[in-house]
Structure 1
Amino acid sequence: MRTELKPVELSAALRTWTVVLMCTAVGLVIAMVTIVNAALPAIGADTGASQAEQTWIVDVYTLVLAALVLAAGALGDRHGRRGVLVAGLIVFALGSAAPMFVETPAWLISTRAVTGLGAAMIMPATLSIINASFPPQRRGRAIGLWAAVAGLGGLGGLVLAGMLLQHFSWRSVFLAPAVISVALAVASLTVPTSHDRDPRAFDIIGAVLSAAAIGTLVFGVLRVADLGWDHGLVLGSIAGGLVLFGLFVMVELRSTAPLLDMRLFRNAAFATGSISVTVQFTAGFGMFFALAQYLQLVQGYSALKSGLALWPIAVTLFPLSLLSAPLVRRFGLRTVTCAGLAVVIAGMVLIGQLDANSNYLSLAVAVCVLGAGIGVTAPAATSAILDNVPPAQYGVASAVNDATREIGAALGIALVGSVLSAVYSDSVTSAAAQLPPDAREAAEESLVGALVVASNSGPAGQALMTAARLSFVDGMRISMFVLAAVVLAGIAATTLLGNQKRLS
């Protein structure tokens, strides 16, 4: 029988210290996406990076993280979660610090890939260490706090980047995470560790197939925003990813020591948690992608101010994350999941009602509603995944939670980006019809392009500026309804998975 090497009985102080460190680490991993996003204009201007290169500077991090997280979680289960965490933090620090010494876009992309590798090692280790450090009856609040920090990490990245860029060069947004990562690596040597006492051979074939399947699928989804859903590369990558995933499932079902036991998905609670995490992050990251542009380009906020403007989401997300576990015990997983996702839909609809003249109160109320839905559902989903695996597989289960988050985030950005682009281009065409060809093409391509053209067109540019902003708002409204439809599909899938008794 396989057993888990359990840590010694932990004091309340050590448990608290462990949760603080693990939450800080996962917040840093999530923040690293938006930190670089905020610095991208300065990076492009200084390094001469093309638009395609700038896209890869952002996307390669998510791609590597998503592709390798399952294998990294399995390594932690077999060889010790703390060791993998500390190693990941060191790799993360090296990848983050490297841009201080490189000049070319190609090298920047390479260093971001290294940072993504470190992130893949960090994420599942943080959650599995928390899970192994608490008895089941005391685990809910710690997981709720972890889920809340993971959900808000992107906003933290925007604020940190905004503050750094006000006073320092773009290189500071890489140096600061490197310093934080080194400090976390040293501090994490004090946290408890655990692993499977009787580990089986590492499933190399499964690790390769999972990396190829997730990586190919995420690559295709990430390319949607600039190529469109009907592009051959997008369709081929998504189809190839699905085929590879099918092959991965076949291999794992036949393996005596699989990287991921696919039979876990027969458990209704485990499957519900996986679906819920996916649609939450589809909605959340799609929303952040749209609102970051709305606040800066339509409302005229600075990058720092736009990050701060979204923080009311924490007013509901944090307290309800801590209440999620008691709610599940009282009402059952399916009820809490469906109710929470319904609140997420309400938040999407409210955000879709924002227009160019909306006041800040309307935005704050909308994101508070969205935060309430995510606060209720995110910890419940994460607990459902972790509570339905044996302790020896905590790392892999944590990696499933992380992989679904990354896939959902990529899907949300792709959906919103493609809908925004299509609706905006169609809506702004008439306003740009009288412009010279080059100016018309720039105005129709993006709101940024339209604002640049309008600013150089004198008094006549005011009409174009107004029309372009209205066109963007139209696209944002429809994209929010698309996200709401995705979440509604998640509710339907949860409802079909089983009755309340099986899911409670």
Structure 2
Amino acid sequence: MLCLSLLIVVMANTALIVAAPDMTRDLGLDSSRLQWVIDGYTVPYAALMLVLGAVGDKYSRRGGLVAGLLVFAAGSVLGSQVHSANAVIAARAVMGVGAAVIMPATLSLLVATFPRSERARAVTAWTATSGLAIAVGPLVAGWLLRDHAWGATFLINVPVALAAVVAALFLVPPSRAAGRGRLDLVGGLLSIVTVGCLVYAIIESPHFGWGTGPVTAAVVAGAGLVAFLLWEVRHPRPIVNVRLFRDRAFSGSMLAVLLFFLGTFGAIYYATQHLQFVLGYAPLATGVRLLPLAGAVFAGAALTGVLTPRLGTKVTVSAGMAIGTAGVLLLTRIGDGSTYTDFLAPFLLLGFAIGLSVSPCTDTIMGLFPESELGVGGGLNDTALELGGSLGIAILGSLLATTYRDKLTSAVGRQLPPEALHTARDSVGGALAVAEKVAASPAGGPAQARQLVAAAHHSFAQAVAHTSLIGGIVMAVGTVAVALILPRRLKA
């Protein structure tokens, strides 16, 4: 049941990726608005997890899970019924609030329910579920998009959420921290401001540059972080024991989780676009082609239960990060003649790396928190996960868009009117839409349309290769950092 709840939280993002082309056409989204449709979920999700995890610890983890599932289902119903970009973003934000309750609740309930001897296996199943959701989301969404509009992809979550609510009420024992004391409301507020402004700055800066909005958000995030650290160090019952970051096992595991999802979500974001816009796969076919990634997650998760006790967390996590780095770097081979086969090995390596290494990191993080703070521990783990995904989509997505724009401008800059050129440069989907108009135009014709399509495909393939190189370098540096930070032996 806990894994079922986790499944819909992760599916909410991955299902939307394959629905993005239909939403772009129907709602007239440019790349910035599309980014906010995706990340409108992320801001409240990342900002509220830590605080809502602490609330669940104090009052009721099971009650928090049920409430989060109901809010999530309500946001999903709202998203299926609206017909404007702003309304979709608002619905996604409601879903993000629900997810911010669900994620730390699932992890804290899991750790509180299973004894220490069985916890590693339970966390491994939790991690494998997130990998399954990466592939199941696009697969189910693609199946629905064959006969229904994009609004149907929101409704995937509703029956699953309601089933999880019923199961939680009957199967999950009540759980709350004993003697939690008063909540650190000031620390909680500072954490919301810090993480919320940081995520906002990450999302906005690639589209608008470091102008007034992103700079202000980044400054507020920095000031909020300093204030949060000073407050937490002096508070007798802080919402987070910030001294934990001195523990090399904790800080190394947090960094590894962040980097894993930076590379994975960033790569899936642009690889999925390539499969749809360049190789021409329908949403369902795209979802089917992501299934090997989910299978590789399960293979890695099965192996980590054998390797981690024998080799230790440091070796297992470092090896997994190296494998994930290799998966991202393999995408640098993408070019004009690339087929799905060129994506298969990267998908397998990325999935295997997640299954092998994220579970030991999560188990290490949760093991450092007492029973009274399991929701906070889950919130911190999930914040690192979500920040990594946000950074991957925002930074690598921005780099992809910039490279694509420059390449396409060089190829067709003088052949299109300014307005058409602006649309074509905005995204590869925009270029294909312009090509359809050019083909039907007396001034253009099919030959010019084919040239534009070829130029867009070439530019996007070059952008994928360039972005993968930068992403691979970031992950390689992170792999070395994690290997140096993690201790050889973990403390009991």
Partner of 2:293: 313
Distance 1:175 1:146 in 2: 23
Partner of 1:194: 175
Q: Deviations over 1:303-344 (max 9, x none)?
A: 221121121112321021133243222112111111110001
Distance 2:131 2:223 in 1: 31
Partner of 1:210: 191
Asked if the contact 2:32–2:207 (Cα under 8 Å) also holds between the matched residues in 1, the reply is no
Distance 1:498 1:359 in 2: 38
1:462 aligns with 2:433: no
1:146 aligns with 2:126: yes
Alignment of 1:424-435 (within 5 A): 424-435=404-415
Kindly provide the amino acid, as one letter, of the partner of residue 357 in structure 1. Answer: G
Would the alpha carbon gap of residues 45 and 420 (structure 1) be closer, same or farther in structure 2, given more than 3 Å must change? closer
Calculate percent identity across the aligned residue pairs. 34
Moved more, 313-322 or 491-500: 491-500
Asked if the contact 2:134–2:294 (Cα under 8 Å) also holds between the matched residues in 1, the reply is no
TM-score normalised over the length of structure 2? 0.93
1:69 aligns with 2:45: no
User: May I ask how many residue pairs the two structures share in their alignment?
Assistant: 483
1:445 aligns with 2:433: no
Asked if the contact 1:93–1:178 (Cα under 8 Å) also holds between the matched residues in 2, the reply is yes
Q: CA deviation at 1:69?
A: 0.4
Partner of 1:497: 485
1:289 aligns with 2:277: no
Q: Deviations over 1:209-244 (max 9, x none)?
A: 11111010001111234224x334223322321221
TM-score normalised over the length of structure 1? 0.90
Asked if the contact 1:35–1:158 (Cα under 8 Å) also holds between the matched residues in 2, the reply is yes
Would the alpha carbon gap of residues 49 and 450 (structure 1) be closer, same or farther in structure 2, given more than 3 Å must change? closer
Partner of 1:372: 352
Would the alpha carbon gap of residues 465 and 54 (structure 1) be closer, same or farther in structure 2, given more than 3 Å must change? closer
Kindly provide the amino acid, as one letter, of the partner of residue 454 in structure 2. Answer: T
Partner of 1:246: 226
The SS at the match of 1:196 is coil
Given candidates 141, 150, 158, the residue that maps to 1:170 is 150
Alignment of 1:76-155 (within 5 A): 76-100=56-80, 102-155=82-135
RMSD: 2.1
Moved more, 106-115 or 271-280: 106-115
Distance 1:467 1:167 in 2: 31
Asked if the contact 1:140–1:322 (Cα under 8 Å) also holds between the matched residues in 2, the reply is no
Would the alpha carbon gap of residues 199 and 274 (structure 1) be closer, same or farther in structure 2, given more than 3 Å must change? same
Distance 2:336 2:291 in 1: 20
Q: Deviations over 1:283-302 (max 9, x none)?
A: 01001111011101111111
Kindly provide the amino acid, as one letter, of the partner of residue 471 in structure 1. Answer: S
Kindly provide the amino acid, as one letter, of the partner of residue 137 in structure 1. Answer: S
Q: Deviations over 1:385-429 (max 9, x none)?
A: 111111221111111111011100010011211111221122222
Kindly provide the amino acid, as one letter, of the partner of residue 496 in structure 1. Answer: L
Partner of 2:375: 395
Kindly provide the amino acid, as one letter, of the partner of residue 360 in structure 2. Answer: A
Partner of 1:481: 469
Distance 2:21 2:103 in 1: 28
Asked if the contact 1:281–1:408 (Cα under 8 Å) also holds between the matched residues in 2, the reply is yes
The SS at the match of 2:336 is coil
Distance 1:362 1:103 in 2: 37
Distance 1:38 1:297 in 2: 11
Given candidates 352, 359, 365, the residue that maps to 2:339 is 359
Distance 1:324 1:398 in 2: 20
Kindly provide the amino acid, as one letter, of the partner of residue 75 in structure 2. Answer: G
Distance 1:83 1:121 in 2: 10
Distance 2:254 2:85 in 1: 36
Moved more, 209-218 or 324-333: 324-333
Distance 1:357 1:44 in 2: 27
Gap runs ≥5 in structure 1: 1-20
Partner of 2:395: 415
Distance 1:453 1:167 in 2: 25
Q: Deviations over 1:109-159 (max 9, x none)?
A: 333222111111000111111111211121112211111211342332211
Partner of 1:7: none
